[in-house]
Amino acid sequence: MADGGRQDVLGQKAQAAQRAFEAKGMSPAKALRRALSRTADSQWGLALVTQAVTVEMHDQDGVIDGLGSKDLLVLLDGPDGALGLAAIDREVMTGLVEVQTILQVTQMPVDEDRLLTPTDAAMMAPLLDGALELLAMNLDHHPMHPQLVGYKFGAMVEDARAVGLLLDASSYRCFRADVDLALGRRKGALTLMLPEREIKKTAELDENGQAAKGAHEDQMSRVPARLDTVLARVTMPLSQANALKAGDLLMLGTDAKDGVEVLAGGAQIVAKGGLGQMNGMRAVRLTWPPRPEPVEPPVADLPALAEPAAGLAIGVETAPAALPDLGGVDLDMGFGGDAAEPAAMDLDMDFGVDAAPEEPAFDPSTPEELPDLPSLDFEAESGALDLDLDFLDTPAEGGDDGMGDFDFSPATMD
pLDDT averaged per 10 residues in sequence order, the chain, 414 residues: 56 66 74 94 94 91 91 93 94 95 93 92 95 93 89 93 91 94 93 88 63 76 85 88 89 82 84 87 85 67 56 50 55 49 51 55 59 56 53 52 53 56
CA distance 253 to 256: 6
- Delineate the domains of the chain, giving CATH numbers in brackets: 25-195 (3.40.1550.10)
CA distance 20 to 24: 7
Residue 2, pLDDT score: 46
Q: Which long-range contacts (CB under 8 A, 24 or more apart) does 40-48 make?
A: 40/127, 40/181, 42/130, 43/126, 43/127, 43/130, 44/99, 44/100, 44/103, 46/99, 46/105, 46/181, 46/182, 47/181, 47/182, 47/183, 48/179, 48/180, 48/181
pTM recorded for the entire structure: 0.48
Question: For residue 201, what is the enclosing H or E element?
Answer: none
pLDDT digits (tens, 9 = 90+) for 293-309: 766 666 655 555 555 55
Please state the separation of Cα 377 from the chain's center in Å: 99
What's the first-to-final CA gap in the chain, in angstroms? 151
CA distance 155 to 167: 14
Residue 180, pLDDT score: 92
Nearest by Cα to 175 from 77, 84, 56, 71: 56
Contact 262, 227 (CB under 8 A): yes
Return the HEC string of the chain.
Answer: CHHHHHHHHHHHHHHHHHHHHHHCCCCHHHHHHHHHHHHHHHHHCCCEEEEEEEEEEEEHHHHHHCCCCCCEEEEEECHHHCEEEEEECHHHHHHHHHHHHCCCCCCCCCCCCCCCCHHHHHCCHHHHHHHHHHHHHHCCCCCCHHHHCCCEEEEEECCHHHHHHHCCCCEEEEEEEEEEECCCCEEEEEEEEEECCCCCCCCCECCCCCECCCCCHHHHHCCCCCEEEECCCCCCCHHHHHCCCCCCCCCCCCCCCCCEEEEECCCEEEEEEEEEEECCEEEEEEEECCCCCCCCCCCCCCCCCCCCCCCCCCCCCCCCCCCCCCCCCCCCCCCCCCCCCCCCCCCCCCCCCCCCCCCCCCCCCCCCCCCCCCCCCCCCCCCCCCCCCHHHCCCCCCCCCCCCCCCCCCCCCC
Nearest by Cα to 76 from 28, 26, 135, 31: 135
CA distance 138 to 144: 11
CA distance 252 to 276: 16
Q: What share of the chain is helix, strand, coil (3-state, %, to 5)?
A: 25, 20, 55
